[in-house]
Structure 1
Amino acid sequence: MRELRVAVVGAGPAGIYAADILTKEYEGAHVDLIERLPAPFGLVRYGVAPDHPRIKEIIKALHRVVGRERIRFFGNVEFGVDLKLEDLRRYYDAVIFSTGAMADRELAIPGVDLPGSHGAADFVSWYAGHPDVPREWPLEAEHVAVIGAGNVALDVARMLAKPADEQLTTEIAGNVYQGLKANRATDVHVFARRGPAQIKFTPMELRELSHSPDVDVIVHPEGFEIDEASQKAINASKGTRLVVDTLLKYLEAEPTGAAHRIHIHLCHAPVEVLGTDRVEGLRTEKTELQGDGTVRGTGEYVDTPVQAVYRAVGYLSSHLPELPFDHQAGVMTNERGRVLDIDEVPLPGLYVTGWIKRGPIGLIGHTKSDAAETIACLLEDVESLPRPEITDPDAIVAHLTGRGATVVDAEGWTRLDAHEQSLGEAAGRERIKVVDRDEMLKASQG
């Protein structure tokens, strides 16, 4: 069996699943996970709200993979800074890119660039303790609009409405807690372009909105349309049925008089962010279902006074240097995971998986099946893969050291992990996340 040395650039779920599947299916495979942050796990660590402990359980399974024989972790190493494509080709038989999607997709409406208009992905990175974002976030607005009909929109709304003290059982970082403690929001308005059977909330996320006794969830009856196509969607999907049932319960419930409210507005499409020097409101157009799951505008507009707007309209992958990229779709050009050049010819030894392969859609389970497809393609290509110039597994470590990179290996991550748990233990919590990169590196070095 030919020995394979494979680099996986990006140690989020997509990259870790690829490493897991490859080493299980090919005994001669050795994988190096190369991650630009000092810690692994990508959006599971930095894209999930701190009050989602059940979702974060996936980290335990990913942790076991990172510590497995024939898999090495190289954290705090950035592709395009510490390593070039040429370097990876010299040391590895194949490279799998799994860098995910961290940027906000654009929303092209007037006023979107006003102060007080924020991308949801930036806010998520802040409250999840990402080391590369500012430590403070402006939370002076009392009335806030969230644009979007997916789980990120619900996370943002919940984090803005939920009292900060309720987060003290989680791993929330100190600066995030202090920021949320000063949050002045009382009313958060979530706007969805389509109806109750077309929104992309998951039942669990929707139910979690009401778990705080200090938050009322108010579904506004205008736009709560269920046409024939909607009923078919409800009958065909248990998840859709549960979402609609939950929305109906909120619709019928009497407000308790809680200090904070989350308003859900269906069949409202954003048209303009209002204001002169900063956000003063959001204008939406009422929409109506067309019988096929899509909507059209009615020409009737509603202005909602708000002082901040959060755009949760999707994530966007970033273009990696030296590699082909479809800027319109926001993915690396590929076919079933094989990276394609401008002539749509596969580039030998280069593969892609996760959101940068298929776009920011699907849940963790989709990521695993996606990685399996990419690995299947790689294994089909084994005999034709170009052999690396340098086969010594320690040569890449020497190369990175020569570049001046401070590499966090698996032992370093274990030390950082233990440090965060010790901070949590002192506060009666499971963990407190370290945000500052220098502090992360110091903890990883013991």
Structure 2
Amino acid sequence: MATTSSTLRPIKVAIIGSGPSAFYSAARLLANATKDGGADVHVHMYERLPTPNGLVRYGVAPDHPEVKNVEHKFAQVAEDKRFRFFGNVNITGENSSSSSLTYPYPLATQLPITSLIPHYTHLLLSYGCSLAQTLDIPGSKPGELKNVHSALDFVNWYNGHPAAHDPAFLQQEPWRAVDFSQNLHQATVIGAGNVALDVARILLRSRSTLTSLFTADTAIKARAALRETDIPEPVLEQLSKSQIDHVEIVARRGPAQVAFTNKELREMMELQDVTFIKPKDEYMHLAHEQVKALEAKAKGTIDSGGENTQAAASEARVRKRLLSIIEKGSATKESKTSWSMDFFKGPNSLLPSSSKPTSVGGIRWDEMAFEPTPSTHDRDKPWSGGATTGQHHVRATGNQSERATDMVIASVGYKAAPLDSESNSLISWDVKKGIVPNRGGQVIDANGNARKGMYVSGWLARGPVGVIASTRIDANSVVEQMLHDWRTSNGSMRLEGEKEVDLESVPEELRQSTKRVVTWQDWLRIDAYELTKGQELGKLREKVLSVAQMLSIIE
């Protein structure tokens, strides 16, 4: 039987991270913990940067400001008196000198996770994915060739993340800097997700909006639209130097398997003064055959009364619509600036430029084909397996090709990292999946046993999939599991046995730190500064690009 809030111990949660998953979890905790005979609740949020909001601030494309409106909801959460924000605090593993993250965060207080345990009943890991998946091919190592970037680094750059601008970070990893002052005309984006389209769109819009190649009216309107976003001025200055006139998006599989949404694709097709070069007819024919197979599968499921009927039928409709958008093409039919999509190519190696051996000059591609099945294998028709069976696995055919390019951006996914690079007895790590092992959000150890009081949400729990809306659903589910465990255990499902937790206490390292621990009020001062600077420039905000400057504003 559930106890009442007067007898059930208060719940005090430390949330590591301050992105969408963290804030949605905090909101759910503050709203639901006291319901139905629940407990009093206190939420402390830890963030290694002085700025909150994570992916919303540093991941959402700047020309999609409507998506960032959730920041207002997060601010409402922070106004709750039961909530406290601790920015500029880098939570590390048990061995604080062995961080698995590449960014050093030298101005932050370094706080081992073990120091949190005595002060909280629960720990919620929500720090997301801060690293990029790598190509792992010759020429792709960081700094090996100039003008080679991960999509994460490029997104960090145009969104003003300190990792791409702060001298303290760039001194350690100078290859993260983006430079358009060179004579670059073609960019290759490897990958076919929404982030790949974001990157391509910013590259193309920079060409059509920040230069005067096109008609005056078009250029003025487009330039104003981009300059009014929160893209930092140093980034706009670099983009204005861009001579990129063609962006190619290259994928290992076919048009029917792309991961981007129809909405994102339609936005690409509507770019002013940018022409889309359509894929080969054979690729589109194969894609249509695969969609027909999916429709037939959905119909067969309906006829047999099977499950997932609506999902299969919906997927077929979405894919069919996507193919029609590709075939219709761009609104602009002729232009000096263009983009294209190519398929069934896997990067084999990045090649140096013949004129500038330290810079990338081309890519060697492996030609790919769908894996045939024993029943449909036909060596003369390498596409037949995928077309007739719906299989989406590809293999290299043995054929290769080479194409020149001036810039490579690898958009092959994000990945999370454990809090430290050494073995961690407190929190296990699934190396293969790149997540914290969990069961419905509750952290489990290497043997599958639940770790009392420890939970994980968002991309750190399920991998880098889904959008902000799905992150909210996941966060709500994890919090409900946490509260259910708390109520049904009469407050014993907690980090440390029977010891009572001081609701006002924080780790000793924070009280003694010589480095500034940023409060929510401190962040509001940074926020006001950015908004004021942005207003002066006629834009949404002008982001502060270095941690040192952020701290100087509040000091």
Please, what TM-score do these two structures have when normalized by structure 2? 0.75
1:153 is aligned to 2:153: no
* Residue deviations 1:381-427 (CA, integer Å, cap 9, x gap): 32221368674444317641312231221111122111111111111
Q: 1:269 aligns with which of 301, 326, 346?
A: 346
Letter in 2 for 1:318: A
Alignment RMSD: 2.2
Mean alpha-carbon deviation: is it higher for 148-157 or for 433-442? 433-442
Counterparts of 1:221 and 1:161 in 2: how far apart (Å)? 22
Aligned to 1:278: 359
Q: Sort the Cα spacing of 1:41 and 1:226 in 2 relative to 1 into closer, same or farther, 3 A.
A: same
Q: Aligned runs of 1:21-420 on 2, under 5 Å?
A: 21-27=28-34, 28-80=40-92, 82-113=110-141, 114-115=144-145, 116-134=147-165, 136-139=177-180, 140=182, 141-163=184-206, 165=210, 166=223, 167-222=226-281, 223-224=283-284, 225-233=286-294, 235-237=313-315, 238-250=317-329, 255-257=333-335, 259-275=336-352, 277-289=358-370, 290-291=386-387, 292-294=390-392, 295-321=394-420, 322=424, 323-382=427-486, 383-384=491-492, 385=494, 386=496, 391-396=501-506, 399-420=509-530
Letter in 1 for 2:205: K
1:11 touches 1:98 (CA, 8 Å); kept in 2?
Answer: yes
Mean alpha-carbon deviation: is it higher for 189-198 or for 14-23? 189-198
1:33 touches 1:72 (CA, 8 Å); kept in 2?
Answer: yes
Mean alpha-carbon deviation: is it higher for 288-297 or for 330-339? 288-297
Letter in 1 for 2:479: I
**Secondary structure of the corresponding residue to residue 82 of structure 1:** strand
C-alpha displacement of 1:8:
0.3
Letter in 2 for 1:157: A
Counterparts of 2:328 and 2:475 in 1: how far apart (Å)? 38
Rg (Cα) greater in structure: 2
* Residue deviations 1:4-26 (CA, integer Å, cap 9, x gap): 11000000001111111111110
**Secondary structure of the corresponding residue to residue 126 of structure 1:** helix
**Secondary structure of the corresponding residue to residue 242 of structure 2:** coil
1:285 touches 1:297 (CA, 8 Å); kept in 2?
Answer: yes
Counterparts of 1:388 and 1:439 in 2: how far apart (Å)? 44
C-alpha displacement of 1:58:
2.1
Counterparts of 2:231 and 2:88 in 1: how far apart (Å)? 22
C-alpha displacement of 1:42:
0.5
1:131 touches 1:437 (CA, 8 Å); kept in 2?
Answer: yes
**Secondary structure of the corresponding residue to residue 89 of structure 2:** coil
Q: Sort the Cα spacing of 1:441 and 1:245 in 2 relative to 1 into closer, same or farther, 3 A.
A: farther
1:82 touches 1:405 (CA, 8 Å); kept in 2?
Answer: no
**Secondary structure of the corresponding residue to residue 347 of structure 2:** strand
1:414 touches 1:444 (CA, 8 Å); kept in 2?
Answer: no
* Residue deviations 1:108-129 (CA, integer Å, cap 9, x gap): 3333234132211111111110
Counterparts of 1:375 and 1:65 in 2: how far apart (Å)? 15
* Residue deviations 1:357-392 (CA, integer Å, cap 9, x gap): 110011112211211222122123322213686744
Counterparts of 1:62 and 1:197 in 2: how far apart (Å)? 37
What is the number of residues matched between the two proteins? 443
Counterparts of 2:318 and 2:20 in 1: how far apart (Å)? 24
C-alpha displacement of 1:170:
0.4
Q: 2:24 aligns with which of 17, 30, 53?
A: 17
Counterparts of 1:254 and 1:30 in 2: how far apart (Å)? 55
Counterparts of 1:433 and 1:58 in 2: how far apart (Å)? 18
**Secondary structure of the corresponding residue to residue 38 of structure 1:** coil
**Secondary structure of the corresponding residue to residue 99 of structure 1:** coil
C-alpha displacement of 1:311:
0.7
2:274 touches 2:332 (CA, 8 Å); kept in 1?
Answer: no
Letter in 1 for 2:135: L
Letter in 2 for 1:226: A
Mean alpha-carbon deviation: is it higher for 432-441 or for 236-245? 236-245
Counterparts of 1:62 and 1:183 in 2: how far apart (Å)? 36
* Residue deviations 1:118-144 (CA, integer Å, cap 9, x gap): 211111111110012236412333111
Mean alpha-carbon deviation: is it higher for 119-128 or for 393-402? 393-402
1:285 touches 1:301 (CA, 8 Å); kept in 2?
Answer: yes
Q: Sort the Cα spacing of 1:413 and 1:134 in 2 relative to 1 into closer, same or farther, 3 A.
A: closer
Counterparts of 1:399 and 1:389 in 2: how far apart (Å)? 21
2:165 touches 2:546 (CA, 8 Å); kept in 1?
Answer: no
Counterparts of 1:388 and 1:436 in 2: how far apart (Å)? 43
In the alignment, structure 2 segments of 5+ residues that lack a partner are 35-39, 93-108, 167-176, 211-222, 296-312, 371-385
In the alignment, structure 1 segments of 5+ residues that lack a partner are none
Q: Sort the Cα spacing of 1:242 and 1:424 in 2 relative to 1 into closer, same or farther, 3 A.
A: farther
Counterparts of 1:48 and 1:241 in 2: how far apart (Å)? 27
* Residue deviations 1:233-264 (CA, integer Å, cap 9, x gap): 5753354343222212117x67322x322211
Q: Sort the Cα spacing of 1:12 and 1:243 in 2 relative to 1 into closer, same or farther, 3 A.
A: same
C-alpha displacement of 1:313:
0.4
Q: 2:539 aligns with which of 412, 429, 432?
A: 429
1:7 touches 1:32 (CA, 8 Å); kept in 2?
Answer: yes
Q: Sort the Cα spacing of 1:29 and 1:254 in 2 relative to 1 into closer, same or farther, 3 A.
A: closer
Letter in 2 for 1:13: P
* Residue deviations 1:278-326 (CA, integer Å, cap 9, x gap): 3221222344451324144444433221022111000010111343211
